Chain A
């Protein structure tokens, strides 16, 4: 299989037409500093990360499979390592949603339990309780708390607001989050819990 043209992904623009529309003729072969590599297409699964030696001897961590990441809840300033459960929306490509590919900017479902238990211990209130469940658990025994703890908790109640949408998600045990790291470059799937206008926007998109 002898080709006149060398195969491989390049990042140079010499193969593209000029601004005037004229064709550019090839004046040199492909160079190593112009090279590109195949995309990671990170999926959800048991962690599998390949290390890549890049230009200058530096490393890139190509995540091929990931199952958890560091997700932060902005308004409560709470960051926890949680499991990534499912890819739900991708603004660029629906194919990436179908194949459950983790990329920066993808909307995913993450496990809500670490955030739920943090919130309940920090504010001392039950979160994400379904209506019929609340009626049934009327007679739960009260844990004894020291006066210092109760004072701390009542102080924290001031200015405490929890969005309805997030409360609903807590009940189902899954939160919507957006990936903000680049899994194919850093090998990590970190992100932020969707809140406020952004959450409303994506929920509307999901309904469509």
Chain B
């Protein structure tokens, strides 16, 4: 059972502006003998039966686009796909394969679509993993989805196989 931190732990400050969660007052004086100690990390339940990962609750990263510790809501479509690229900063490319029916020949053809999704630091995503993504508001020109669940895959299958979910 993951527990929220009661002591503030600063995240790695790589940017030129101070990175901290909006909902937490970082400089708050701690009352040492208070019965109920307020947590120093803000985490939310995304809803739709999605479980918030322990690494989001116990971690100290700051990501305003994370569905669990940031300011985005998951609503609309929920899709599953294969991760093909993790080279972008905190975003991934997810490939969704599907079959398209040609009526004249009564056969199928393979098609695919790539989706850019924001990937929170709480998910250790690698190429070839299966990932569940949920629709959110536009976060960038091409990013309208956010990773909400992650299923690591063994290296055997890789990212070149045709898989429908």
Q: Which residues of B contact A201 (CB under 8 A)?
A: 13, 18
A16 and B18 form a contact (CB under 8 A): no
The answer to whether A38 has its CB under 8 Å from any CB of chain B is no
B27 and A196 form a contact (CB under 8 A): yes
B27 and A91 form a contact (CB under 8 A): no
Number of residues on chain B facing chain A (CB within 8 A) = 17
B18 and A198 form a contact (CB under 8 A): yes
The answer to whether A61 has its CB under 8 Å from any CB of chain B is no
The answer to whether B35 has its CB under 8 Å from any CB of chain A is no
Q: Which residues of A contact B29 (CB under 8 A)?
A: 75, 159, 161
B27 and A19 form a contact (CB under 8 A): no
A74 and B27 form a contact (CB under 8 A): yes
Query: Once the chains are docked, how many angstroms separate the CA of A161 from the CA of B15?
Result: 30
Q: Which residues of B contact A159 (CB under 8 A)?
A: 29, 31
B27 and A205 form a contact (CB under 8 A): no
Q: Which residues of B contact A16 (CB under 8 A)?
A: 141
Knowing A91-B16, A91-B17, A105-B17 are in contact, say whether A198-B31 is a contact too (CB < 8 A): no
B17 to chain A, nearest CB (A): 3
Closest to A195 in B: B27
The answer to whether A13 has its CB under 8 Å from any CB of chain B is yes
Query: Once the chains are docked, how many angstroms separate the CA of A199 from the CA of B116?
Result: 36
The answer to whether B108 has its CB under 8 Å from any CB of chain A is no
A72 to chain B, nearest CB (A): 11
B26 and A198 form a contact (CB under 8 A): yes
A75 and B28 form a contact (CB under 8 A): yes
Which of B8, B18, B31 lies in contact with A202, CB distance below 8 A?
B18
The answer to whether A197 has its CB under 8 Å from any CB of chain B is yes
- 5 shortest A-B CB distances, which residue pairs? A196-B27, A91-B17, A195-B27, A91-B16, A201-B18
Residues of B within 8 A of A (CB): 8, 10, 13, 15-18, 20, 25-29, 31, 116, 141-142
Residues of A within 8 A of B (CB): 13, 16, 19, 74-75, 91-92, 105, 159, 161, 195-199, 201-202, 205
